[in-house]
Amino acid sequence: MDIEKITRNGKSFAVIPMTRFRKLIGDAEMLADVKTFDSAKARIARGEDEIIPFEIVERRVAGESPVKIWREYRGFTQERLATAASVSRVMIAAIEAGHKRGGVATLKKLAGALKVNLDNLA
């Protein structure tokens, strides 16, 4: 093997060629990425997280109201969402149109009815 052992101040160190060191660093980064991926897959499998479809991302980036995007994605009408969230349909329409932002309590109710994290409606 091409590993050299040295001792400095009573501590042992391994000296390896830079090419091998770079490979070890790359392998460690890949392992960290695999662990992150596996963790995300497990959260999705347990229902703790959701894959957000590209359609939603595109609409959000285009500036559409997140409440409207998620409402339509979940198949709700404004009236049905209003009933499910105990929020007035007029308030939902105003939030979707950008006339009102909606308070935290209102957005929490909407997030609960739409089964999304509150962050997805911000």
Percent of the chain scoring above 70 in pLDDT: 99
Statement: residue 2 has pLDDT above 90: no
The rounded mean pLDDT for the chain is: 95
Statement: residue 53 has pLDDT above 70: yes
- How many Cα neighbours within 13 Å face the side chain of 29? 6
* Domains in the chain with CATH codes: 4-45 (no CATH), 54-121 (1.10.260.40)
Statement: residue 1 has pLDDT above 80: no
- Across 41-51, average pLDDT: 90
Q: Which of 120, 121, 115, 105 is nearest to 48 (CA)?
A: 115
Read off the pLDDT of residues 55-106 as tens digits, 9 standing for 90 and up. 999 999 999 999 999 999 999 999 999 999 999 999 999 999 999 999 999 9
Tokens, residue 84:
């499910």
